[in-house]
Amino acid sequence: MKIFIHNSPRERTNSYVIGPDGPGDALIIDPVELDVPLLNLIENNRYYLRAVLLTTPRPQTVEGLRTIKRVYDAEVFSSYPRIMEFSGKSLERRQKLSVSGLELEAIPLEPYSRFTLVFCIAHLFFSGTMLSAGLIAEHQPEAERLLIAEAFRQIVAPLPDTMVVLPAVGPPSTLAAERRFNHELNADREAQTGEPE
């Protein structure tokens, strides 16, 4: 398995292409545009995009989706059965599925929202826009941030420290680093012990 990071110069967000070591079917997570570097990446590796996974359908994502669907016959996986004119596979509950030959787990960010997803593929944790290195949902209101932090605490509790966190915004991280340096992810533990990690 190979994974490539593409940072959109326009939106400053990350999308991830995952494919086999050789030519074959690939998937993309949270695309915001299909620009020339991204298209070159896909084509130079002789990949064919078979799936688009969306953690949170956003206006920027939807725009990129339209271009991708013109070029590739890719199935859309998100929490909604339909995004614009495109129908797709709706992921409304925690479930394991096989996409483009990869085993992945889609996990809704409950209790915050069942329409926001994170994805686990092997040792990779795709956290979308809600968890980035050291921060949780920094643009959301305080009340929502508490719910999102609680949802992440529940989701990551059984996962190993070595998992690599690949967010839609900002640099990558590890779960170990998030457990230590993400103040909001550790709020409960800090309250119990009386001191930060």
Partner 1 sequence: MTEAMPENGCCATPRCERMPLSESEHCYQHLPDEQAWRRRLEAVLSQLRELDGYNLSGAGLSKLDLSGKRLHQCRFSGAVLSDCNLDHTRWLLCLFDDARLTGCTVREAVVHASIIAGAEIIDTDFTGSDLVQSNFNGTYVAHSSFADCDLARSRFIAARLEHTSFVNCNLKDVLLIDTAYTDLDFRLSNPEDARFERSNDAPGGPFRHENLYP
The DSSP symbol for 14 reads: E
Find the binder of partner 1 among 3, 62, 102, 146 (CB under 8 A).
3
For position 181 contacting partner 1 by CB under 8 A, the verdict is yes
* Residue located via tokens 């490539």: 4
For partner 1, the closer of residues 106 and 135 by Cβ is 135
For partner 1, the closer of residues 123 and 189 by Cβ is 123
For partner 1, the closer of residues 49 and 83 by Cβ is 49
For position 177 contacting partner 1 by CB under 8 A, the verdict is yes
Burial 155-183 (b: 16+ CB within 10 A, else e): bbeeeeeebebbbbbbebbbbeebbeebe
For position 179 contacting partner 1 by CB under 8 A, the verdict is no
DSSP 105-131: EEEEETTTEEEEEEEEETTEEEEETTE
Residue 23 CB coordination number (10 Å): 11
For position 166 contacting partner 1 by CB under 8 A, the verdict is yes
Binding stretches for partner 1 (CB under 8 A): 1-7, 12, 14, 37-38, 41, 122-124, 133-135, 162, 164, 166, 170-174, 176-177, 180-183
